[in-house]
Chains A and B, each alone.
Chain A
């Protein structure tokens, strides 16, 4: 069964304290892995797509990486405005139109 697991569930960081969020996945074949940011009371906002192991994408303080079993979202020198829930999703080759979401990591960055 296709599955996505995110860890930790919640993370508190001091401003400037770098860390990583993990997304482990089990799929028969990976078509794409997606990272989203979700602010309270809003819809998920797209951040990155990764397609194959070894691929990396960067945007400001965020960097996403992908291996054959997991993805990491690295946050370098975070700021309070980076506080949000970060969601990971995969699209498997077996289900062209379906996306499987993890339950997210709630990140709080303290000033």
Chain B
């Protein structure tokens, strides 16, 4: 089973700041990695698929990069609605499909 480790667990930032979130895989997942955003009381929302492709309707301030075992989600300038929990998920080696433990982006 591929283990995804997200860091940091919590990121305390202000609106307008740049957010950099990391996801590290226990073995290569090529570029088969996605990022999701989840707000309290809401279902997860796909942001990025296959490492660097923005999903439909996702603003350009969200970008993904990486391959192999190291991946990054960057939010170029945080908007108030971006404070949420972010998860990565791999689809390269399955079953099982696996998620990271999440990074909470909170307002400083």
The answer to whether A and B assemble together is no
Chain A contact residues, CB within 8 Å of chain B: none
Chain B contact residues, CB within 8 Å of chain A: none
